[in-house]
Structure 1
Amino acid sequence: MTATTLQPIIPRTDTPALLAALQKSGSWDEHISMAISNPNASIVTTPTFKYDITVGAKATRVLIFDHLGAEEDMERDLKAFLAGLEKGTKVALDESAAFPHARAEILERVGFTNRVFAHPNVARQLDLVDVDGTPVAPTSIPPPEGITIHEITSSTDPRFDARVAVERDIFGYGAGYFSHLPAALAEMMDKYGDYHLLATTANQDGGEEAVGYMTLRVHRGVAYLQGAGTVETWRKRGLTKAMLARTVAKAVEWGFEVMLTVAWDENAVRAWTAMGFREVGITRVWDLDV
């Protein structure tokens, strides 16, 4: 991936647009990609909405990504869309993804309620450069001794399978979720240009053992730190900081001024805050049972 493939970068001063791009990149793109290898899921585009529908044994779930009609028609279109769903369908809507049409007062009138999280709806921002373009975030930190950090920019890379597997091992994904993950990561890498780092160390057999990863997505004009993880034996040894510095260097090279991420639990909040991220805004999801 080169800088010439990037979409126009969203200015650091346009927080609503940054949050909307973050939500689309983190929810819309990932759901679409995961649906590719899920026989129970499909992405549907109608004249008024784009959404993901998953038919499960216990419930049918719909996640509305975007409103394709006029802004002033949002309430009318949403009521018509909901009226066409089967009773028992669970509906969720990404407020920022449907920005600016999905205003809170409209969603409340239609019957949606804001999903309450402890932390997942808090977006965090890392400033990469100051106002004159001078880098302010570290762009070079050596990895711990014995660790090599590799760049992966294509699903044909020989280390791609190891990149997928290490995420599964770190987070304990079940077989169902993991069965869709390789296709989703390949789609996001090859279509959207996701930039991956894989950290390895030598094993007793003289080969490589994957011990950590980090993923940066820049598809929608925002530098989104999509994911990161380190196996337990290598935590608190500076590996994540080293991978973050490499990722920051790449984002600065491509012209970004800020990087955004979402912290999903208390440990992640503490980790990202310690590395310079600060709270910047709220991304909200709204729910409704038909």
Structure 2
Amino acid sequence: MTNLIERLQSYMRRSAVSRYEAIPVPPFTVFIHPFDALIYLNYAIPDGPILGDVREPLRRLRAEFQKKGRVPRFEYVSELAPALADTLLAAGFRQEAEARLMVCTRESFTPVAVPEGPVLSVLTSGSPREEVRTFCTTARRGFSPDEPYEATEEDVSKMLEDLREGRAVLGRVEGQPAMVGMFTPPSEGIAELGGVATIERFRKRGLGTALTSRVAQEAFERGVEVLFLSTISEEAGRIYERVGFRFVTRMLFMVEGSHPEGAMLPVPG
């Protein structure tokens, strides 16, 4: 199990390097989204177990976040850096959330049928830009329902890059965008299921379960061996369990204490 957990954390680092600006601040690496300051798109990951005094690295880490106009924040598998949480708390961070890290394999995958009514569309790098724009806008509104938002050209271009190897699924109800999800480009047989969100008025209908199932199906058909996700919601965890995801360990999300709000991941619906 430890080997699997280490593989998952290594994948997270590789994936972040491919998508974000990576700034080494040993024993950490800071990952900065190229144009979006949304809090959960900018974070640091420890390079390994934390030993010794890290006050100076944390000072430099904070400076890098501030230089980019971002909030200092960490996302990491807690058992691989067990002393880090206390170190960060003492340095003025606070625990934003504790997430369940869950995995699904071809063997554990349990397909769920799409209920009558919704239509699911698979997006690739060859999909029309307007369809990808709708996906990006729906995803953001699912995560931040009170934020007025329309996807930009940069959002669309970045998503199309991710879709060269990954896939996304957009669900509509009566023609209206309702839910989204995707899996990230695979590496060494691993991919992450992320961005699963349902617009508020379409929640509590089982749509998120069907969409998660379709994303997982697409991943396994394209050679993924282990699909993982993280969720801070017990309700969402039960939804993912229906599709065959199983708990393996926990992740911590730590944010600078002066920031009033943390990232809140939506329930899939």
1:14 is matched with: 3
Q: 1:165 to 1:281 in 2, by over 3 A?
A: same
Aligned partner (choices 249, 252, 268) of residue 281 of structure 1: 249
Q: 2:29 aligns with which of 31, 50, 60?
A: 50
Q: Residues 184 and 193 of structure 2 are in contact (CA less than 8 Å); yes or no, is this contact kept in structure 1?
A: yes
Shift of 1:256: 2.6
**Fraction of identical pairs, as percent:** 17
Shift of 1:14: 2.7
TM-score (norm 2): 0.66
1:125 aligns with 2:92: no
Distance 1:185 1:250 in 2: 21
Residue of structure 2 equivalent to 1:259: 227
* Counterpart residue type for residue 174 of structure 1: E
Partner AA of 2:248 in structure 1: V
- Equivalent AA in structure 2 for residue 92 of structure 1: R
Q: Tell me how far 1:249 sits from its aligned partner.
A: 2.0
After superposition, where does 1:133-152 map in structure 2 within 5 Å? 136-139=108-111, 141-152=112-123
| Other structure's SS at 2:196 match | strand
Rate the CA distance shift 1:104–1:266 in 2: closer, same or farther, 3 A.
closer
Paired residue type of 1:93: F
User: 1:72 Cα shift?
Assistant: 9.3
- Distance change (3 Å), C-alpha of 1:194 and 1:29: farther
2:36 maps to none
- Unpaired stretches in structure 1, ≥5 consecutive residues: 1-11, 33-42, 55-61, 130-135, 203-207
Aligned pairs, number: 238
Moved more, 226-235 or 181-190: 181-190
Does structure 1 retain, via aligned residues, the 8 Å contact 2:172–2:178? yes
Question: Aligned to 2:210, what secondary structure does the other structure show?
Answer: helix
Cα distance in 1 for residues equivalent to 2:162 and 2:72: 28
Determine helix, strand or coil for the equivalent of 2:211: helix
The unaligned stretches of length 5 or more in structure 2 are: 34-41, 259-269
Q: What secondary structure sits across from 2:244 in the alignment? A: coil
Alignment of 1:33-182 (within 5 A): 43=21, 45-46=23-24, 48=26, 50-52=29-31, 63-65=43-45, 67=47, 75=52, 78-84=54-60, 91-96=72-77, 103-105=81-83, 108=86, 111-112=90-91, 115-116=94-95, 120-129=98-107, 136-139=108-111, 141-154=112-125, 157=128, 158-171=130-143, 172-175=145-148, 178=149
Looking at CA atoms only, which structure, 1 or 2, has the larger radius of gyration? 1
SS in 1 for 2:110: coil
How far has the Cα of 1:196 moved from its partner? Answer: 0.7
Higher relative contact order (CA 8 A, sep 6+): 1
> For residue 51 of structure 1, what is the amino acid of its counterpart?
V
> Quick one: distance in 2 between partners of 1:95 and 1:217?
18
> Does the CA-based 8 Å contact 1:75-1:106 persist in structure 2?
no
**Taking structure 1 as the reference length, what is the TM-score of the superposition?**
0.62
Aligned-pair CA distance for 1:21: 4.1
RMSD: 4.2
Q: Distance in 2 between matches of 1:246 and 1:53?
A: 30
